[in-house]
Chain A
Amino acid sequence: MSLTFRLASRNLFQDRLRFTATVVGIVFSIILVTVQMGLFLSFERMVTTMIDHASADLWIVPIGTKCFEDPSLLDETDRAHALSVHGVTDAVPVVIGFTEWKVPSGGTTPVFIIGSNTNTAGLHPWNVVQGNLDALSTPHAVAIDQTYFARLGITRIGDSTEIRDQKAQVLAITNGIRSFTTTPYVFTALDHAQSFMGTSRNRVSYFLVHVAPGTDIAAVRGELLANLSKVEVLTPDEFRTRSRAFWLLGTGAGAALFAGALLGVIVGTVIVAQTLYSSTKDHLSEFATLRAMGSSGAYIHKVIIYQALLSAVIGFFLAACVGLVIVEATAETALPIVMTPLLTLALFLLTVLMCVASAVAAIVQVMRIDLSRVFRQ
């Protein structure tokens, strides 16, 4: 162990109460950032979950569509124009929208309908744990997530209710398809969806375009745009980016999450800075002695930065443990906190940066010491 590291660690651990306060400050700060960023990541994933699970090379969307949940509609006749484009093998219609679900015990609750025919590569429920997709083509059939049983008043597969005064029967059950809007998703066949929402049979929300292998997608997109009016043609990545931009930036949700994370960083930095400053102040005569002995500025900086890094590593380790517990505890909630290896690495680097930045005040203090104090004390 280097002597600078030994000096730093002993300076740091000498006052255990102060050290504990520092670590607690770092832990709270990093947990706050973890929760905010974990929610951000989770939100970012959830707003594109339908696009992620849809089978499409290109999306034909109504012009000006801001996100997947946008209620604008297309004309069904556009499908024929799309299919006429060279290289397009299919243009699967999808209908989405909000409607009312009658809770069997009384009252109604809003649901978000997703309609797509199961005999096509469209947008179907995944993680089906009871029943099967084919059942959705039978009259009145719907699929819901088991997480929403209580909200929808459903207890088992086969239960019936009404959607917009029309019979609906649960014939497939999924697990883990949760909505960030908290409105339950209800999957059904295309025509059922149109009925449940009162949408005309010649109106749809999107076309999921499939192209033949080896086809130039950019060329297909150009032709689609030329053949169709009042539409946009987006790649899945473009649609994801647009949805994220709308929900995270357009609604202010992302800004709020970032503001919370920033607050965490500021609080953490101030706590660590205050502790390092106070620890350095307590050891000023030692730093003055070091300087009188001719140590370089870099040598002294190293001692202080080691203190900061030690605080960062210990604080981050504890925060990571607490963070894992939080991730586990929220895994089954409507908005689980997501932790990825990249976010973990970013949080570690942020902790280190925060602690090293906090050392600046202490370093400035040491470099301004009146060295002649070594003769006065």
Chain B
Amino acid sequence: MTSPVIEVTDVVKYLGDGAVRVAALRGVSLSLGSGQLTLLMGPSGSGKTTLLSILGCILTPTEGTVRIRGQSTAGARSGDLAKLRRDHIGFVFQSYHLFPTLTALDNVRLALDVRGVRAGPAIAKAKSVLETVGLSHKENAFPHELSGGEQQRVAIARAIVGDASVILADEPTGALDSENGHAIMTILSNIAKDPSRGVLVVTHDPRIIPFADRTIHIEDGRILDDEVPGAAIH
């Protein structure tokens, strides 16, 4: 693993207020490097999604620090966090979150458009990335014309087209059958072989464990174990 892309230290996160206030994370520390695929596993309510949100600069921690490529998010405003996401993070969601009125190509291109990339280069790059995920023949298809697996591949293309340092995937196989799930994990695993970026996958699905370079188990807001197969436990 190279220098950390994201590093969180002693992160505590409370959700809700007053009587319904709950501690979703209770002192989590971890770092994600590039060149590896990390699985984050745990039961429902364990704090996986909250941790993913904090790693993705979508939520800010109640306590503790978050560093993206060495840059602390402490005191960052909404616009600063958006810039960090734009520059360093790509998301893949369980329900894809594609734009139904845009074609596959435009959905991918959108990630470059929000970065201010001009149309010509953006279209060329989006086409190239669609080819990488095996969908060049579907670039003009709308999401409703694609299967679930194809939609997720478009979502992955959208996440990587901006050269994000880390891809955060939330249950990317959760809505797919095993064949499509396997195909998606193969793509994510290949992305993680790129030494310039890392992939974190939140999942319940034990079938994807073989793809992991590292597996983190979380429960009750605490990391229980952090395994790197074939290496010492952290």
Contacts and interface: CB of A to CB of B under 8 A. Distances in A.
A49 interface: no
A147 interface: no
A372 B109 contact: no
Interface string B182-215: 0000000000000000000000000000000000
Contact of A296 (B82, B89, B106): B82
Interface stretch (B30-38, B96-104, B222-230): B96-104
A375 B101 contact: no
B91 A292 contact: yes
A285 B97 contact: yes
Interface in A119-168: none
Interface of B: 49, 52-53, 56, 58-59, 78-79, 82-87, 89, 91, 93-95, 97, 99-102, 106, 109-111, 113-115, 119, 158, 170
B102 A295 contact: no
A375 B87 contact: no
Interface residues of A, number: 26
Interface in A251-289: 285-286, 289
Given A3-B113, A294-B83, A296-B82, 19 more contacts: A3-B106, A7-B102, A10-B101, A11-B101, A286-B97, A286-B99, A289-B97, A289-B99, A291-B82, A294-B87, A294-B89, A294-B114, A294-B115, A296-B83, A297-B78, A297-B82, A372-B53, A372-B58, A375-B53
Contacts of A294: 82-87, 89, 114-115
Nearest to A285: B97
A298 B230 CA distance: 48
Interface centre among B53, B59, B94, B114 (most CB of A within 10 A): B114
A375 B170 contact: yes
Contacts of A290: 110, 114
Contacts of B93: 289, 374-375
A14 interface: yes
A317 interface: no
A2 B110 CA distance: 10
Contact of B102 (A2, A10, A297): A10
B111 to A, nearest CB: 6
Contact of A7 (B49, B53, B59, B99): B99
Interface of A: 2-4, 6-7, 10-11, 14, 285-286, 289-297, 299, 371-372, 374-377
B106 A6 contact: yes
B114 A7 contact: no
A291 B89 CA distance: 12
Contacts of B58: 292, 371-372, 374-375
Nearest to B86: A294
B95 A293 contact: no
Nearest to B88: A294
A3 B102 CA distance: 9
Nearest to A294: B86
Contact of B85 (A11, A292, A376): A292
A58 B88 CA distance: 76
B107 to A, nearest CB: 10
B114 A374 contact: no
A111 B104 CA distance: 75
B110 A293 contact: yes
A45 B83 CA distance: 57
Given A372-B49, A377-B95, A293 B101 contact: no
B204 to A, nearest CB: 14
Contacts of B102: 3, 6-7, 10
Contacts of B49: 372, 375-376
Contacts of A296: 79, 82-83, 114
A293 B97 CA distance: 11
A277 B215 CA distance: 43
**Top 9 closest pairs, chain A to chain B, by CB:** A294-B86, A10-B101, A294-B85, A295-B114, A289-B97, A3-B113, A371-B58, A375-B49, A294-B82
Contact of B86 (A2, A286, A293): A293
A11 B99 CA distance: 10
B86 A295 contact: yes
Contact of B113 (A4, A10, A286): A4
Contacts of A372: 49, 53, 58-59
A289 B78 CA distance: 15
